[in-house]
A and B are shown apart, each in its own frame.
Chain A
Amino acid sequence: MSDYPDPRVPMDPALLRGLTQRRLSRRDALKYAGVGAGSLGLAAFLSACGVKGTQSKASPTPSTFDFTKIYGNGTPAGTLNFANWEDYIDVNSKGNSPSLALFTKQTGIKVNYKTVINDNDPFLAKIIPVLQAGQDTGYDLIVITNGGSIERLIRLGYLTPLDHKSLPDWDANADPKVKNPNYDPGNKYTAVWQSGFTGIGYNSKVIKTPPTSFKDLLNPAYKGKVGMFGNNQDLPCPALNSMGFDIDKSTPDQWRQAAAAVTQAKDAGIIRSFYDQSYINALENGDTVITQAWSGDVFIASASKDFGGDGFPEMKFVFPQEGPIYWHDNMAIPLHAQHPVDAITYMNFVYKPDIAGMMADFIWYVTPVPAAKDYVLNTLKDPTVANSPLIFPTAEDLASAKQYKVFKSTQEEDDWNGVWQPVYNS
């Protein structure tokens, strides 16, 4: 790690992402202008503005699928347009990624690496109209989280099916825990980029007894100093889980029961705010002393500045006893991508243990390649990362981990949102 001076300047990552975001709206403007020009009269115009559905365009099932239609004879085009999140790949002191450089050296494929994804929903809102118009998004590979967003792309039929013949390293090295996930059975469309845990972060200077459960966040003793997540997975799933409900099989009655418990704490002033990625700043600034948290962020916050962290050793992460939530950011190839062979070649490349190790040693979330631990420990000689249960989780933590809720339909998602959004968006 010491080879790589930290590019994480003490600046809000969300801010950095915002600064580097690109806009994709010109196409929409042209599309809408075209609609306008073609219509006569206001009523006709209003009716003509319908947004087309996509169900007829759903991708065929990969089992009966002729992959040569997409991947041809498997010759890469030599270019890969890769859309990823900020701080989500290894970077050296010059700001370049050694693993990407190695990929280019080995395969001759040039990678245009763009950190344009700032949040799942706004990114989807940008690419969906483009995909709806049957056009290429400009990206061959995107990284999208499960728990609604990746499922939406799958449901809409906007992802290119993966030809597993091109993924031997995935087959050999991927953690069984990330294979055949509930949101993409058989990995038809996705392969995990990195994973992480939603658990509890706390300031050990203030809180002497470590919390053990999501229920500790509802403790009146921490009134006004509790942070929770304001999204429709990281808040509801731990709440349901802490009440002993099976997240995937839970009923609307159970949703309402769990939502009522959180609402009660909100109304009592225990919960300070429902945060996005800024929750970690709130914890570091002392605005909160206990908060829902993502494993990697707390590792970064607690690591010393020399090591590339934020230098708050008092920040601790706990896996709740009822089990943490294990979420996944997934690589996928959007429909109409220009360079699918290059994309799938890269997808396989990151499942080589040494490459996964190079990245894990920098990203500090959970790598999908357990064999990377040896590389980090023995080749990179970084025991701090290799022995951290936040980066290479223990078997017990993985066994107790739960997954995000998978929505069976848009209707179910709307119902779920109808229960939870009034809790965190009031």
Chain B
Amino acid sequence: MAAGLQQLGKPKTRLGKRLAPYLLVMPGGLWLLVFFLIPIFFMLSVSLQTGNLEEGFTMTWHFHRYVEVFQQYRPQFVRSFAFGTIATAITLVVAYPLAYWIAFHGGRHKTTFLFLLLLPFFVSFVIRTLAWQFILSDDGILFGTLKSWHILPQSFHVLATRTAVISGIAYNFLPFMALPLYVSLERIDRRVVEAASDLYANKKDVFLRVIFPLSIPGVFPAVGDYVNASILGGTNTTMIGNIIQLEFLQNFHYPVAAALSFILMGVLLIGIFIYARVLGARSIEEYV
């Protein structure tokens, strides 16, 4: 009886075993299909159509649009990548020591420090940026006071400059840099660090040749951000995100907005791919 049951049960288990990975991946896969792939295809389609809101948009396979919109908005593309790169560099410099300290010296309060790092995220992105607008205003609580003490000249201002926009991006994206850095630093096998010391590496070499190469995660340059540029920026600080918003919401040029989004996405994907290949974090096994 027991043997019979086992025999009946066996093929079932095998089928279940074979299906299990697919079943497990299905919810996520369906999610991606419905909320990512279908909208992406729709956007791709729209980017190749011509027309306007009144007459409707029809598919004309207008591939040349990609060249047109890139040429039209080249300054904003270039500026976005420049701002994104500088902001990423600033964030890296600020976030690395922070993440390093939490991972190696945080002790039993690690969770508290991580929570503190995340705390500003409980307030909306836009509201935090607006708060900076208030703090950094020309005669505001910060600069107004410094100006009245004659520490700063009257004409000094930060708002409506490139510095303000880049700093805003760096500030807003700091946790996105710090958290992955923390994870990869935390993950480093302490025995590898000990082994380096045992092999007569000094502290500097341990860091530069062991910890650092193992910790650099993927970086996410905030190239598509438009909130900082519109709240903290001035003239000549418009980023490509602002242009996409303008073309979509104000001009109702859906194809132009879609093509710009695709160009942005494409360039970012290529960038991330190259980065992952050249600089991406590797585990210790890959170095062996």
Partner of B46, one of A51, A272, A421: A51
Chain B residue nearest in CB terms to A232: B250
Is A121's CB under 8 angstroms from B249's CB?
A: yes
Given contacts A287-B160, A425-B242, contact A46 B56 (CB under 8 A): no
B243 within 8 A of A: yes
Residue of A nearest to B140 (CB): A285
**A155 within 8 Å of B by Cβ?**
yes
Contact A286 B139 (CB under 8 A): yes
Select one of A49, A50, A410, A425 contacting B238, CB under 8 A.
Answer: A425
Contact, CB under 8 Å: A287 / B49:
no
Whether the pair B45, A45 counts as a contact (CB closer than 8 A) is yes
Instruction: Determine, out of A52-60, A136-144, A192-200, A330-338, the stretch whose residues face the partner at the interface.
Output: A52-60
Chain B interface residue number, banded: 35 or more
Partner of A46, one of B59, B155, B234, B251: B59
Q: By the criterion CB–CB under 8 Å, are A53 and B54 in contact?
A: yes
Q: How far is the CB of A138 from chain B (nearest CB, A)?
A: 20
With A47-B45, A266-B235 known as contacts, the answer to whether A155 contacts B157 (CB < 8 A) is no
Which residue of the partner chain A has the closest CB to B147?
A286
Q: Which residues of A contact B251 (CB under 8 A)?
A: 414, 417, 421
Q: How many residues of A contact B (CB 8 A)?
A: 46
Q: Which of A12, A42, A55, A121 contacts B250 (CB 8 A)?
A: A121
Chain B residues near A42: list those with CB within 8 A.
Answer: 41
* A425 CA / B137 CA spacing, docked (Å): 22
Residue from B75, B139, B250, B251 having most chain A Cβ neighbours under 10 A? B250
A51-B49 contact given A46-B44, A425-B242, CB 8 Å threshold? yes
Bound: A405/B165 CA distance, A: 33
Which of A125, A155, A414, A417 sits near B248, CB closer than 8 Å? Answer: A125
B192, CB-defined interface residue at 8 Å: no
Kindly report which residue of chain A lies nearest to residue B143, judged by CB atoms: A286
A18-B157 contact in complex given A35-B42, A51-B254, A426-B238, C-beta closer than 8 Å = no
Contact yes or no, A36 B42, CB < 8 A: yes
Q: Give min CB distance, A285 to chain B, whole Å.
A: 4
The contact string, 1 if C-beta is below 8 Å from chain A, for chain B 242-286, is 110010111110100000000000000000000000000000000
- Select one of A15, A121, A271 contacting B127, CB under 8 A: A15
Closest beta carbon of chain A to B44's beta carbon, Å: 7
CB neighbours (8 Å) of A55 from chain B are 54-55
A49-B45, A51-B56, A287-B160 known; A273 and B238 CB under 8 Å? no
Chain B's nearest CB lies how many Å from the CB of A86?
A: 15
Q: Cβ of B248 and Cβ of A53 under 8 Å apart?
A: no
Within 8 A of A (CB), among B140-172: 140, 144, 155, 157, 159-160
Is A32 located at the chain interface by the 8 A CB criterion? yes
- What are 17 A-B residue pairs whose CB atoms fall within 8 Å in the complex? A35-B42, A36-B42, A42-B41, A46-B44, A49-B41, A51-B51, A53-B55, A125-B249, A273-B233, A273-B235, A281-B133, A286-B139, A287-B138, A287-B160, A414-B52, A421-B251, A426-B75
Given contacts A285-B138, A425-B238, 4 further A-B contacts (CB under 8 A): A224-B155, A281-B137, A286-B140, A287-B157
